[in-house]
Structure 1
């Protein structure tokens, strides 16, 4: 075995190996960056339709949430129900009736009158300190719980354990209501974004197919891929906005107002995209000639 005792040759070899390793690392990083850029570019291309779909659905749902959680927007029959809930005689004033209504989790109230009626169907407004023991009819002295639990208790004060169980029932109902609302809005947002992207993608790729830049099978594949990506993005965006609305229902109106500029921005981008499609068509078919 021949051993190279020349220090200069040894150093030169090491330098060359280091340069080669550095070049390989740089190539790997460049490949990763290019792959990430491709993903981002693809998302940006479908972003307008996603933004429009998500913005429109989120705005609609957010304003609906903001409207539903207000007592004065309830049908008169439901207002009367909360004014009479748990009362032996007479009725509460409007302020106390509103407080009883607001003791229902906001996530349930956000779904509107029908959801509120369904919630109240198997529940009583129960006195925490029993009426016969001096408990008042003010909203602070009551909680909604299953009617059979309340009626079986009779004229006895609620224990701390019973109060905790009633609160858990409300929390579970609130969670289920929030999940149902978010899933429904997410599906709507995904469909809206997918439909918008489907139209644009068909137009864009059909022109490329006419030019011979892609085949018919590639046209179908690209349309399907773009539509799926837009649908996923639109659904995710809508779901995030509605999740915030359901966690913090009182600020739904603000989030609805924030969603509107998103939709406007998306429409602006779509206008640019539509103009580009028109210009492309004009070059191919001489529409303006």
Structure 2
């Protein structure tokens, strides 16, 4: 066994070995990322309608979220409710009322006035520091909790444990609301994507079948596969976008602003795809030529009469 007595050479060799290992690891990670990107790209390309449908559904839902989480968009009776929450006399100003409203998790507010009313049905705006102990009515000194807990406490301050329980109740309600919203939107995205892809896929594959490029059984298989892929991809994309909106509400405003451009892009995409199908059908059946002959015959009949 050879022993290297030169520390500098030993350190240099170790550094070179570490650099080589790091480069190999980097290359492996890059290869995995490239492979994943290729798979994702192929998946999206195989079901392009999923992008259109998912974008449209997600932007519509995001627009609703961005609208619902703003205090000024609430019905007047709900605005009044938050201005009066937990107060015996008087009302809060608009800024404080908005802060009370915003203490409700965004995931619940995102579902609109009806969800907010349902949330508040069994809740009181509880003072963290009781009024009798000098606690004020500002939004920072309160939290929504079950009314029976608040009323059983009476004029005492909330303990740290009680405050933690109240926060957990809000977190649980927020999670359930977010799941319900995301699942509902994902189902809409999946159905819309699947229906659009089903129509286009039937037309495209029927023409291939007429040309003899695929059999009837292959037609059914291709249509079923494309529809399933579009539905899964559309649902997944919608769910991802809505999840981001739920976690980061400002994203909802940005995505909601893109609703109209996405709708226009979707119509354009479907128009292009429809035109390609028409061109393929025209090549097979001579639709344009037959239409010209029909129009020419009509014109001749008009002249003769």
- Specify if TM > 0.5: yes
Query: Match of 2:269?
Result: 269
Residue 214 of structure 1 deviates from its aligned partner by: 1.7
CA RMSD of aligned residues (A): 2.0
Equivalent pair of 1:51/1:262 in contact (CA under 8 Å): no
Q: CA distance change for structure 1 residues 38 and 51 in 2, over 3 Å: closer, same or farther?
A: closer
TM-score with structure 2 setting the length: 0.79
Residue 220 of structure 1 deviates from its aligned partner by: 1.1
Return 121-130 or 246-255, whichever deviates more.
246-255
Rounded to whole Å, the distance in 1 between the matches of 2:262 and 2:227 is 20
Number of residue pairs aligned between Structure 1 and Structure 2: 255
Residue 45 of structure 1 deviates from its aligned partner by: 3.4
Are 2:74 and 1:53 aligned?
Answer: no
Rounded to whole Å, the distance in 1 between the matches of 2:38 and 2:131 is 68
Query: Match of 1:283?
Result: 283
Matches within 5 A, 1:29-68: 41=42, 43-47=44-48, 49-68=49-68
Equivalent pair of 1:55/1:260 in contact (CA under 8 Å): no
Deviations 1:49-76 (A, max 9, x none): 1111101101100000000000111111
Equivalent pair of 1:53/1:192 in contact (CA under 8 Å): yes
Query: Match of 1:239?
Result: 239
Residue 285 of structure 1 deviates from its aligned partner by: 1.1
Query: Match of 2:154?
Result: 154
Structure 2, unpaired ranges of 5+:
1-33, 290-305
Rounded to whole Å, the distance in 2 between the matches of 1:130 and 1:37 is 60
Query: Match of 2:116?
Result: 116
Query: Match of 2:74?
Result: 74
Rounded to whole Å, the distance in 2 between the matches of 1:42 and 1:63 is 27
Rounded to whole Å, the distance in 1 between the matches of 2:285 and 2:42 is 28
Equivalent pair of 2:126/2:142 in contact (CA under 8 Å): yes
Equivalent pair of 2:185/2:238 in contact (CA under 8 Å): yes
Rounded to whole Å, the distance in 2 between the matches of 1:255 and 1:174 is 21
Are 2:91 and 1:91 aligned?
Answer: yes
SS of alignment partner, residue 82 of structure 1: helix
Residue 272 of structure 1 deviates from its aligned partner by: 2.3
Are 2:201 and 1:204 aligned?
Answer: no
Residue 256 of structure 1 deviates from its aligned partner by: 2.5
Residue 132 of structure 1 deviates from its aligned partner by: 1.2
Rounded to whole Å, the distance in 1 between the matches of 2:246 and 2:203 is 37
Residue 43 of structure 1 deviates from its aligned partner by: 3.8
Q: CA distance change for structure 1 residues 123 and 39 in 2, over 3 Å: closer, same or farther?
A: closer
Rounded to whole Å, the distance in 2 between the matches of 1:142 and 1:169 is 14
TM-score with structure 1 setting the length: 0.83
Matches within 5 A, 1:143-222: 143-222=143-222
Q: CA distance change for structure 1 residues 112 and 38 in 2, over 3 Å: closer, same or farther?
A: closer
Rounded to whole Å, the distance in 2 between the matches of 1:39 and 1:243 is 19
Q: CA distance change for structure 1 residues 129 and 42 in 2, over 3 Å: closer, same or farther?
A: closer
| Greater relative contact order structure (CA < 8 Å, 6+ sep) | 1
